[in-house]
Structure 1
Amino acid sequence: MDSISTLPDDIIFHIVSFLSAKEAAFASLLSKRWQHMFAIIPNLEFDDSINIQGVDFLDAVLVLPLSCRVKNLSLKCRKDPTHYAFVNHFLCNVLKRGVMDLKLDINGHGYSLPFEVFTCKTLVELKLGTGLVIDILPKNALLPALKTLIIDSVQFYDHCGCAFQKLLSACPALVELVMHNVEWENWEWSRTVSSPTLQRLTINHRYCFGIIHYDLESIIFDTPSLTFLKYFDFAPQSYPIVNLGSLVEATVGLTLPDDHVRIKQYAGDNGTITSDITNLIKGLRNVEILNLFTTMTMEAFYFFHEVIPVFENLHRLCVTTEQEYRWRTLPHLLKKSPNLKTLVIEGPLHFTYNSDDDDDEPVYEYLSEYDFPLSCPLKVLEITEYRGTRGELEQIKHFLDNLLCLELVKVFVSETDHEEQIQLKFSLLNLPRSSKCKVQFFIPPGKSV
């Protein structure tokens, strides 16, 4: 008899608690007494690209007594599709052991998840990806404890009843939904996000910031309890329903067609707009923090500036700029933000674009060309990319002259040369401004003035 087996149960339990799940599974085969030492396996991980004897490992887990609990299971099976029937057998076995966190990364070609995944009463967090195809859910689908659902590169095909909507309906306690690499255009009847309990929603279209564009009829958001939204997508033809009444923070990044096809996308042959984001814009009316990610999003808001609601609760606005885009959206946003306190400009401060008459001649656009609301209560202005050009100084001067409530201007410079930094700081600090307005000068890490 080995020396360890003579020890009391509580000491043995403490020793084996340091073993990995794989070691624990194999060790349980050594003795009937040892099987009861593994009452709880905190983390069980399987990756067929790493575990050379993967099937043996799964076999070892299957022989554990049902009294053995598994809290977290991470299963990656992308190498050998011949094991899928065995994998499902293993998965169903583990689902009976009180799993709370389940992460599945299974090659979806010809594979179907077992129905038991959608009827597990103990799951609190579920991650599905990548390449999985879900075409049908059981009639009794119910995940009563699920709070977090993450799907990555998952396709939903259900011509009869919308598998995606059924999945959301089966999660009565859902708090967070994360959707990575979404391809709405390949989903059948599954373009509605509806949940009365959902509080956090993240959506990333797979090709959102690429050159691919697709024509999608509509997307619906029926999420009355949502407080956090991060949404990167192509603009569809419309948003028929947008229920975001509880929204507190939103980051929106919409991709629009290039300039040469913009007319085709936004104005049909009769001159009417064919892609309507009106309801999405109106749905943001209650936000307190709004990040408009990408200049295309700013352009989209400009096309529909007449429907921009009054943002009564908005206190922090972050807008993204690029060298070739224009300022025309910002004044409309400021006019509709009566309680705005902080404005962050992510990107260049001075815009240039090519004129219609001569594409080789840049046109410089200044904020002074637009009507700024003098009553804007803005107190903090943050500029993230400052190079100190004459045009940028003019822009900051315009802010200082027209935003009468400003108390702090935070300027982050991109220049790393020591002497240039000194000159930039000198120029900024000598701009005329109210005595109550301070200018803070920030430099790249490791480069001080």
Structure 2
Amino acid sequence: MEDVDRISDLPDSILTHILSFLSTKEAVGTSILSSRWRYIFTLVPNLHFDLVDDLCHKNLESCILHIKSFISFVDKPLSLHETSLDRFHLKCREMVHGPRVYSWISTAVRRGVKHLDISISPDQFTSPGIMFTCRSLTTLKLDFACSVLDVPRGVPFPNLKTSSQRLTILSTFNSHDCWLMLDTPNLAYFKYGILVIAGHSLENLKSINSAFIQSAFSNFRNYATALFRGITNIHSLVLTYNSLSSCEPLPVFATLVELKICDYYREQSSCEYADLLINVKWSSSMDKGLEILLSSSPELEKLACHQEVLSKLPEKVAYCLLSKLKVMEILGFRNDKDVIEKAKYILKNVEALQKLTIRTLSNISKAKKLKMSEVLLGSPRESKHCCILIV
């Protein structure tokens, strides 16, 4: 039989449905098959653009060509797209200039997009106001970095069913003239790490149930009280060491059940020997902060901290340690007598403890771990059902 191209004779609606199962790159690629296929991809309702994050391995010339290719790849489908969009996903780095990204998002919104997923970090970028007045949106997911997110008051979003409930504000070295202004009645997760800011305005933080708070300078004290008072309904909290020095006065975290106290740089480091490379400067104000924090968390059930945090435990055992704490994890544990005594303190005083996990430094031998295990297993324990794990 003579070869017959039956697929190309199918209606546009069926061909579009077939292309919807392909990636955007593959769908656009079908435009070179024949004149019949040249513009079929413009009818596909889903557009997914993801700038591959491997530019650090390329030389400058290759990097520039890669960026230009990506820009052209996004421009073509958006400019030729003829129907309304169902989904629009965009992920790209700061090499793509803000005005170009602004144009892409605005075009997607004008196409009546229903599901918008944006993850970007361009320079000189301000979020388009049209994005917040889009009446077709049912799902909105935003991940902005190094940009201005200007959300107008009274945003309608009549059909919005799912929105971004996570906010991350990371440290910058040019924020000393900036104000931190938060009015977030529906925020669920908040990650904060600004070095220096000029001032703050914090409102409607009661919905936050999980947070990561990092401070690096003493001016954090100026607004730490307002921030902590705003998140009293929190369930899970991660604090860095320096934040402890700002823990006075503290409100009562009546719903806090999970707490982690860590060193920010150690948490971010992927180095196997990070614990050996980082020198943490501990101060008496941090000791006091730990005592205040524990006494302000009466329902605490899970506690994780690096061994430096246990350098001085309060003589008066906090209520949460006596009767509520169930899971304890000590990170960066060293085989020294002082820290062994702190582990004994936990075993002796925590009545509800079910599991004590000790994560040692990478240079601790199996023999030393075994010896530590023998010492702790032979120590007095308030909880008769506590499992001790040394890894």
User: Same fold, TM exceeding 0.5?
Assistant: yes
Indicate yes or no: 2:385 matched with 1:394: no
- Are 1:279 and 2:226 an aligned pair? yes
Given that 2:261 and 2:309 are in contact with CA atoms closer than 8 Å, whether structure 1 keeps it comes out as no
- Give the secondary-structure state (helix, strand or coil) at the position aligned to 2:170: strand
CA shift at 1:4, angstroms? 2.5
Residues 252/96 of structure 1: CA separation in 2 closer, same or farther (3 Å cut) = same
Instruction: Please give the root-mean-square deviation of Cα atoms over the aligned residues, in Å.
Output: 4.1
RCO higher in structure (CA 8 A, sep ≥6) = 2
**Match for 2:180: what amino acid?**
I
Q: CA deviation at 1:142?
A: 0.8
1:168-224 CA distances to partner (integer Å, 9 max, x unpaired)?
9476749655xxxxxxxxxxxxxxxxxxxxx3322223x3xxxx5864575232222
Q: CA deviation at 1:13?
A: 6.0
* Code of the aligned partner of 2:372: L
Instruction: Tell me the distance in 2 between the aligned counterparts of 1:350 and 1:22.
Output: 53
Amino acid at match of 2:152: K
Report if aligned partners of 2:234, 2:256 keep a CA contact under 8 Å in 1. Answer: yes
CA 1:175–1:391: 2 relative to 1, 3 Å: farther
In the alignment, which residue of structure 1 is the partner of 2:367? 419
Q: Does 1:440 align with 2:388?
A: yes
Of 71, 79, 89, which aligns to 2:87?
A: 71
Pick one of 164, 185, 188 that aligns with 1:224. Answer: 185
- Give the corresponding residue for 2:170: 204
SS at match of 1:255: coil
For 1:333, the aligned partner's letter is L
Contact (CA 8 Å) 1:235, 1:256: kept in 2 or not? yes
Structure 2 CA distance for partners of 1:417 and 1:97, relative to 1, 3 Å: same
1:315 aligns with 2:244: no
Residue in 1 that maps onto 2:241:
295
Alignment of 1:179-194 (within 5 A): none
Deviation at 1:251, TM superposition (A): 1.7
Q: How many residues align?
A: 350
Q: Secondary structure at 1:312's aligned position in 2?
A: coil
The answer to whether residue 318 in structure 2 is matched with residue 373 in structure 1 is yes
Higher helix share: 2
Task: Specify every segment of 5 or more residues in structure 1 that has no aligned partner in the other structure, as ranges.
Answer: 100-121, 157-163, 178-198, 258-264, 267-272, 352-365, 444-449
| TM-score normalised by the chain length of structure 2 | 0.71
SS in 1 for 2:65: coil
Q: Deviations over 1:124-156 (max 9, x none)?
A: 323443103339846x96134252222121147
Higher Rg: 1
Is contact 2:302-2:325 (8 Å) kept? yes
* Residues 349, 383 of structure 1: 8 Å contact kept: no
CA contact (8 A) 2:27 2:41 kept: no
The equivalent residue for 1:143 is 134
Deviates more, 1:3-12 or 1:225-234: 3-12
CA contact (8 A) 2:250 2:296 kept: yes
Q: Who is 1:324 aligned against?
A: 281
In the alignment, is the contact (CA less than 8 A) between 1:44 and 1:70 conserved in 2?
no
Return 324-333 or 64-73, whichever deviates more. Answer: 64-73
For 1:63 and 1:403, locate their aligned partners in 2 and report how far apart those are by CA, in whole Å: 64
Task: Label 1:23 to 1:276 Cα distance change in 2 as closer, same or farther (>3 A).
Answer: closer
Tell me if the contact between 1:335 and 1:376 (Cα under 8 Å) persists in the aligned partners.
Answer: no
Matched residue type, 1:289:
S
Percent of aligned pairs with the same amino acid: 21
- Give the gaps of 5 or more residues in structure 2: 52-63, 264-278
Normalising by structure 1, we get a TM-score of: 0.63
Q: Is the 8 A contact 2:102 2:125 kept in 1?
A: no
Whether the aligned pair in 2 keeps the contact of 1:382 and 1:411 (CA below 8 Å) is: yes
1:180 aligns with: none
1:154 and 2:155 correspond: no
SS of residue matched to 2:353: coil
